[in-house]
Amino acid sequence: MIRPLKGLIDVPLPLIKTPPLAELRRQLMAEFGYAARVVDFVLSDLVGRPTVAFRPLLLVGPPGGGKTRFAQRLQQLLGIGMWRTDSSGADGAAFSGTDRRWATAQPCHPLLAIARAGHANVLILLDELDKAAIGRDHGRLFDCLLGFLDIDSARQYPDPALQTTVDLRHVCYVATANFIDNLPSPLLDRFRHIVFPKPSEADLQALLPVVVTDLLRDQGMDQRWIDGLTLTETAAIAHHWRGGSVRRLRRLVEIVLRQRDGHASSH
């Protein structure tokens, strides 16, 4: 794993250019209209930047509101690669890289993300950061992140596997958390954080096409061959969803579509 990455050392890598922000905002608002303040907060950091770059971002809010999906759609629309870290199962030793003296030697995750994407301004998604382990047996994720989130440290990060410094200053970070009470102050100070709201029942009509599209895409189906939700189906969903979790809304839509398939196959 180490040998191929040596080709990245002292080699200029491309940076993905910032897309037109007006179009990016239009696309994000079509899917996350209930989080307009978040959309504008995020995009404000891209203004005037020729290539994709923004300060570390922390999305805070109750589960089910769409924080992770927002980060994923942001990455997709920006056209940059992404590396997702499940913070609840991650430790600092693995994320920051392991020494080349060990048989399990591995470069730090941001460098692996760059190698996989082929460009320097990748996005690292730190999902559920508030659930990261607090034990120090294998190094706390909280502690190791400090060196990556500080641009001066990231510019010359000493990768333990490659035994040389690497330039990680162009990496973008987005973290999600349900709560921030347990996050250390030095870590919080390195993030711009904003509350990510849950949608209300007034957002249902805008959310339904997005949820249906996501479901069909996950199932490998072409939306062009599927009829949209009927008024009866929409009313049934509205009866059981009065705002809140997008995850629960997705389950309701899935049930409706499954019942539709079952009804069709019985005729």
**pLDDT at residue number 50:** 98
Tens of pLDDT, residue by residue, the chain (267 residues): 556 576 677 778 999 999 999 999 999 999 999 999 999 999 999 999 999 999 999 999 999 899 999 999 999 999 999 999 999 888 777 898 888 777 677 889 999 999 999 999 999 999 999 998 776 555 689 889 999 999 999 999 999 888 889 999 999 999 999 999 989 999 999 999 999 999 988 999 889 988 888 888 777 776 665 677 888 898 999 989 988 888 899 899 999 888 876 655 554
Q: Where are the domains of the chain?
A: 2-195, 201-265
Superfamily of domain 2-195: P-loop containing nucleotide triphosphate hydrolases (3.40.50.300)
In this prediction, residue 262 carries a pLDDT of 61
Transcribe the chain into DSSP letters: -HHHHGGGTT-----PBPPPHHHHHHHHHHH-GGGHHHHHHHHTTTTT-SB-----EEEE--TTSSHHHHHHHHHHHHT--EEEEEGGG--HHHHT-B-TTSTT-B--HHHHHHHHHTSS--EEEEETGGGS----TT--HHHHHHHHHSHHHHHTEEETTTTEEE--TT-EEEEEES--TTS-HHHHTTSEEEE-PPPBGGGHHHHHHHHHHHHHHHTT--GGGSPPPPHHHHHHHHHH--BS-HHHHHHHHHHHHHHHHHHHHT-
